[in-house]
Structure 1
Amino acid sequence: MDSFILLLKRIRSDSSISAIVAGLIAVTVGFAGPVLLIFQAAKVINLSNANLSSWIWAISIASGLTSIILSIRFKAPVITAWSTPGAVMLISGWSAYAYSDSIGAFIFAGILITVLGFTGLFSSFMKRIPYAIITAMLAGILLKFGVDVFVSSKQLPMLALPMILSYLVSKRWFPRYAVVTSLFLGLLISYSLNIVNFEGVSVFLVDPIFTKPTFSLSSLIGLGIPLCIVTMASQNATGIGVLRADGYNTPVNPLIITTGIASILFAPFGAHGINMSALIAAICTGKEAHLDPDKRYIAGISAGIFYLIFGIFGATIVSVFAIFPSELIVVITGLALFGSIGSSLTSAMQEEAKKEAALITFLVTLSGISIAGVGSPFWGLIAGIVTDFMLSGDLSKLFSAKTNIHLREKNRRVG
């Protein structure tokens, strides 16, 4: 009990408005964009509104609990979320499987992810990636959101331009609250321009629905394994990269294990997968959350709490975000990521020997290509690793390994 009281006192003393708002913005961005993919996926199999609400409840509560637990445990802004590429994958091929079989596949994917965490295979892979390549990948992910800030200034200048100006002025005089000031000004302008309408917004509590899982070989292979792959490659790898880019050397295995277990536990309620977040995590790991890196974990706790609040109201919370202009969400997201974009670009190009590999990583990630359902961040990572090996790796080992394989094959044939 004493340790719990001490923990609460520390959280209270470390709390700041900027960190709390960073958590709010992060979750708002998550609900304003990626959660809409859940609605599209639900239409593929004509999922009932009750099951849809349960699904959103499950991914929100699971993300909230894991964000809070991991942020407190490691004193770092660890932000989790649901699998966005997983939702995209469901949109393209969910109709071939029964809903209960899909639940079984979600559980199977969670088990695979947990095993990868326990064995340490994923951690070993991450340790072998040069820091410059990780930060270049992060820069490629985030750059589009920075550019969109100024694209929005053309689409809705009366809203975007004052928000940008407010950010710059605040950055000069009280930098910790620059994003907060811009957000509130954007809300005020939206209301004054009558581009928000609260009519038709109804809020009600969710009644979670437990679905007994069934297991079929086709769903395990067709849904479970691909879901595990895209989650690990496109979400967990980039999420760990975000933490590394901002100086957090949080152990990888506990993060993967925790999200894997959460995926298993909440799958019967509809959750298709919980993982490390990349985009919204960057909002909480940068200087805008707090100048002191040791106090940014409050942003992770804040995000977790807002996840829980939003999850309780399920699908209806989306209607609240829908009333705000998309330009407001785009601008505030980009402004909140300015610091992370700048620091990741700087880190990527600091080491002369890694510049070429970092540049290729950045460009491939920025290209937005998708191969076999896996997004550009993963392929940017692979391209950077290959480039780095080609330019500075020991190629003699590669050729000697090939020679040994040919000799063994020749001896086998002779024998």
Structure 2
Amino acid sequence: MGEPTVFPYDDPAFVADPFPFYRTLRGQGPVRRVVASRGVEAWLVTRYEDGLAALSDPRLSSDLRDAADTRLLDQLPTTERESFLRSMIRVGPPDHTRLRRLVSKAFTARRVAALRPRVQEITDGLLDAVIPTGAADLVADLALPLPVTVISELLGVPGADRSGFQQWTDVMLAQHPDHFDKQAMDHAWHEMWRYLEGLIAAKRARPADDLLGALVSARDEEGSLDEDELVAMAFLLLVAGYITTVNLIAGGVAALLAHPGQLKLLRDDPGLLPGAVEEFLRYDGPVNPGVVRFPTEDVEIGGVTIPRGATVMIATAVADRDPDRFADPDRLDVTRTDNAHLAFGHGVHYCLGAPLARLEGEIAIGTVLRRLPDLALAVPHEDLEWQIGGLRGPRRLPVTFAR
């Protein structure tokens, strides 16, 4: 297969728009050897059909202990590593089935639909604060605080604590894929873990009617998860419960501002919003380039044999622009109906919070279009700064609008 292709994380053009690079890779074959973040070599699966099959292949594990490259484990916090490996996102059945069952009730379509009025109320309150000024950073002023508030209320995290866990998460996300501050990362993990242990102790002392309270009683009364699993679950729900939704909201608005015709279509017909959210997820979703798995035996993908323990990058963001699956895949089309994207994954690890992310994206973007007339970027689109290395979205989204 020749030398592996190195992801050009230091190239501003790649950071701003990685899709031309991905197109080139896909043109070279369905499975390519690449060097991804921190020098880790991976097999990149670029095509939709292969990605869909790989996501539900039981031979592809999400457990980092199945990885031949030990550097992947070294990226986890030193003191909390074993605990974090017990997280629902890392384990397979039967543990995954047991853990997911404990929280899945909170994220059913019916439960999430009942949150609509509250999500709308939070969105309106955040926009009320900036509307008089005629300018905002839609990341700091809306896309970040909305999902943070929603997941905090759902879990039962006190309002005063939210800036703390956001700061620790920011440290984790701010790491450059190739220039990694292990000490800062370890400190942030450790502080977050300690905070969650304290929060769980507080729920034990004063039982509460929230998701974390329910998990504590599942631990203490039913014994259906152990203490490490409880903290790992709290961590996963809290962090995963907001970081990707921030990027869905901010990335969706950024995409519309770069495509004024699509923005006008949505303004004229708000009924297109649910489908538009699916299109934002497909076109430039929050997880980029995709998810990592490790074969527990030699597997064949796209005619290529991949050895046991190798790092397989199922490039969902690349697959979601596969011309064999989507017509005119590089075009943003909010009226697209055939849109079975892979942005939320597939199979047993399909994103538990997908209904909540969809609801928040729909309400946030719809309310921005309704309440901020003459919306425009306050900087040239090419000056936007984007997250890199696993997640994608604008770090800031400065806009102006008519008061």
Compare CA radii of gyration and give the structure with the larger one: 1
Identify, as 1 or 2, the structure richer in helix. Answer: 1
TM-score by structure 1 length? 0.26
The structure whose RCO (Cα within 8 Å, separation 6+) is larger is: 1
> Which is richer in strand?
2
TM-score when scaled to structure 2?
Answer: 0.26
